[in-house]
Structure 1
């Protein structure tokens, strides 16, 4: 038939071959960030920042210098019986000033009030000095106590001198400045101590201090 097409001349449709299947299945894992994990991460970061800031404040926050009486030397003791019982004595006080800060400390004045049984005998003063950062410095101050009268306690003081032990009350006050780069910040410290002095070997047998 004229209308029939020759099957040999009719273009054949292309043949599609299936792709070879892989021996392994590829699994794609999709991680989804849940709101709870984000909040937990933010909480951990906040705790870390707060802890780090607290450490910095603790390190750089200025603290009062520590003052310790290392030695008290009592010499040239003379007792007067008339007209009023009194005592003359020379006192040499050795102080240790410690600076725990990361800044240097310059003190302009240092005063030690020395008392016996609640009554002031006299004052020991010292000029200024310098204490390096996280360091310490020693200084000595001497005073001459002439005609010290402690009224009813003078007999007890003479008795303690004879025994070789005297318990003094001291109040040490210092004024100075902390050095931070080019800046200077004023700083004051006041410490009250009770010390037991051995007048035989000129040493301190016992000492207890507290800031005031």
Structure 2
């Protein structure tokens, strides 16, 4: 009987499972969701295409404007001849000069040039001997125009450098300076751009055969 009680007692006091079970040491990481792919570039694909298209169009516009901007026309003397050259000492020291010249206005652009006047002067050592004015005209696109002018100096008294004039005549050659000026405008779309062109020439005239021995010209154009 006592043995059975001891058995029951031992069974009653048998230790139970530990209430504190060891916990697992797993770490849980929470990952934040990535933003949508289309936000990474800052601008959408359609916006980027629009910006590139506008930049290309602007480049083409600037390039076209630069290429189409009018260039300076070319001014040259294509013919210069003496039809008379004389020297007088009575009643005063004077010169007779008859000079004919042809000015070429060459337009290389796709726009027309309208010139209002052509003025030609002839000087001897800084003293003006004569001047002539010709009427204006029109130079079409990609073409040339020729303007004729005649300077007739009839017994013009040389007031300065008389000694130099006598020496030049004795040497058989005198140096004359001519200046041809053109004033007008370039018709550029809806705009009229003012134009002034000048060509200066130094002419060496032969007193014996009354011809031009040589000439050096220097054009100058202002837009």
Structure 2-normalised TM-score? 0.63
1:210 aligns with 2:220: yes
1:72 aligns with 2:68: no
Unaligned regions of 5+ residues in structure 2, if any?
A: 1-36
Q: Distance in 2 between matches of 1:151 and 1:141?
A: 26
The CA distance in 1 between the partners of 2:204 and 2:64, in whole Å, is 41
Contact 1:110 1:173 in 2 (8 A): yes
Q: Could you list the runs of 5+ residues in structure 1 that have no partner in the other structure?
A: 1-30
The answer to whether the 8 A contact 2:73-2:106 is kept is yes
Of the three residues 168, 172, 175, the one matched with 1:166 is 175
Change in Cα spacing, 1:35 to 1:194, as seen in structure 2 (3 Å) is farther
Query: Residues 165 and 174 of structure 2 are in contact (CA less than 8 Å); yes or no, is this contact kept in structure 1?
Result: no
Asked if residue 146 in structure 1 is aligned to residue 167 in structure 2, the reply is no
Candidates 80, 87, 90, aligned match of 1:82: 90
Q: CA deviation at 1:120?
A: 1.6
- Aligned mate of 2:123, from 96, 115, 125: 115
Structure 2 distance, partners of 1:112, 1:34, is 68
Say which SS state the counterpart of residue 103 (structure 1) adopts. coil
Give the number of the structure whose alpha-carbon radius of gyration is greater.
2
Distance 1:139 1:159, change over 3 A: farther
SS at match of 1:152: coil
Give 3-state SS (helix, strand or coil) of 2:109's partner: coil
Question: Cα distance 1:112–1:197, how it changes in 2: closer, same or farther (>3 A)?
Answer: same
Aligned-residue Cα RMSD (Å) equals: 3.6
